[in-house]
A = this chain, B = another copy of it.
């Protein structure tokens, strides 16, 4: 029985460093021939946002959430030492110096390795995010689809 093993990551956090960790593990697991899924929910959806603002009809609440949340990975903060935006810039400078892949490259690599990038439709609705605002070639699903994958998962993580 040489079944493909599954790695399922829930990315709940909107922090740059936590998203990095999620994508580094995902890329590693894909290289290990796992079938890998990252299920983006709540603030983790911001990792899938397009950089440019999209004109859409939205209610006031959704507009406010949309403005307050980072548009794309380059606007995301980090979970520690995020004073005056100093932390994210510093960590990106250090990453460049040490040839560590920045988050957008980690996401591209995940797509090349056929990691399933899933956006949680329930929280998209909750935060007023629409498909036009998110990256192309991603999947849309809910908690039932996550559980169907996770119950057979070799590695399940909540990040």
State the A residues within 8 Å of B (CB): 5, 7, 10, 12-14, 17-18, 21, 24-25, 28-29, 31-32, 34, 41-43, 59, 61-62, 64-65, 68-69, 79-81, 90-91, 93-95, 97-98, 100, 122, 125-128, 143-144, 146-148, 150-159
Contact = CB atoms under 8 A, between A and B. Distances in A.
Contacts of A158: 21, 157-159
A interface SS class: helix
Nearest to A154: B151
Given A28-B144, A62-B94, A65-B94, 7 more contacts: A10-B21, A21-B158, A25-B147, A29-B147, A32-B144, A64-B90, A91-B126
Contact of A24 (B25, B95, B128, B143): B143
B61 A147 contact: no
B43 A151 contact: no
**Copies assembled:** 3
A132 to B, nearest CB: 18
Contacts of A17: 42-43
A32 B147 contact: yes
Given A42-B21, A93-B61, A147 B151 contact: no
